[in-house]
Chains A and B, each alone.
Chain A
C-alpha cells in the first residue's frame, strides 16, 4: 500500500530564514508521481509541483526548490528566504500508475509552516 509521511507537524521560523519540509513516501510501483500542495488559511489547495518517478532532477522555481531522492524515498521541499505569505499547511502527495488513476492521491498529514515577521 502507498503511504506518505510528513514527520514535521509544525515548523516556525523567522522571516527570511530558509526552511525545509520533509516528505518520505512508500510505494511498490516503479511508476509514480509525487506532488506538493499548499493550503493557505483560506483553505483552497494550491498545486505547487509534480514530479514523476523517472525524473530525479531537482527543480527550482523562484524561492522554492525540491529535492527528489529515490534512494531514500524522499521528496523534500525548501523555501529560501521565507516570507510571511508562505505561512500555510503544506502537503506532500503520491499517485501511483499515472496521475491519480483509480486511487486518487495519497496525502501526508501536512506540515503547518509559520513564518514570523
Chain B
C-alpha cells in the first residue's frame, strides 16, 4: 500500500469556477478527514467520514464546500464558485479500525490557486 493519495496535486482556476479534488485513503481505513491549510498556519479541520457516512460537516467553510464518500472508499471535496480566499492546500487524512486508529495518515495535498 502506498499511503493516502490525492489528485490533482495542483489546481489553478479562475474565480467563479467549480473545482473537485479526490482523495484515496489507505486501503481498509474507514475514517477519512479533509483539512485546509493556508500559508503559515496549521491544518484546519473541515469534515469527516466514517465509511460512507459524513459525521461532521458543520466545520465546512461555507455552503460552497461539499464532500462525498459514496462507497466508503475514495472521497471528493468540491468547491463551487471559487473565490480568491479559497486558495490553500487541501489535505486528506485517513485512519483505521485498530487500537491505534487515531493516528491520522496524511496525503500530499492538493494546492489550489484561484486567480
A interface list, Cβ under 8 A from B: 4, 33, 35, 37, 42-47, 50, 91, 93, 95, 98-100, 102-110
Q: B28 near A: Cβ within 8 Å?
A: no
Verify A110–B102 contact, CB threshold 8 A.
no
* Given known contacts A33-B102, A109-B41, A104 and B56 CB-to-CB distance under 8 angstroms: yes
Flag if B42 contacts A99 (CB, 8 Å): no
User: Is B106 a contact partner of A44 (Cβ separation < 8 A)?
Assistant: yes
CA distance in complex: A57, B71 (Å): 41
**In B60-115, which residues have CB < 8 Å from any A CB?**
89, 91, 93, 95, 100-109
**How near does chain A come to B45, taking the closest CB pair, in angstroms?**
3
C-alpha gap A44/B3 in the complex (Å): 11
| A50: nearest chain-B partner, CB-CB | B103
Residues B43 and A103 in contact, CB atoms below 8 Å apart? no
Inter-subunit contact A106/B102 (CB<8 Å): no
How extensive is the interface on chain B, given as a class? 20 to 34
Does B33 interact with chain A (Cβ within 8 Å)?
yes
Enumerate the 6 nearest inter-chain pairs by beta-carbon distance, A residue then B residue, closest first.
A99-B102, A104-B45, A107-B42, A45-B106, A102-B56, A44-B108
Question: Is there contact, CB below 8 Å, between A105 and B108?
Answer: no
In the complex, whether B31 has a CB less than 8 A from a CB of chain A is yes
Complex partner residue of A109 from B40, B56, B91, B101, CB under 8 angstroms: B40
Least CB distance, B74 to chain A, in whole angstroms: 18
In-complex Cβ contact of A103 among B42, B56, B106 (8 A)? B56
Q: A47-B105, A107-B43 are in contact. Are A100 and B48 (CB under 8 A)?
A: yes
Interface pair A104/B101, CB less than 8 Å apart: no
Q: For chain B residues 2-25, which have a beta carbon within 8 Å of chain A? A: none
User: Is there contact, CB below 8 Å, between B55 and A104?
Assistant: no
Within 8 A of A (CB), among B39-59: 40-46, 48, 55-56, 59
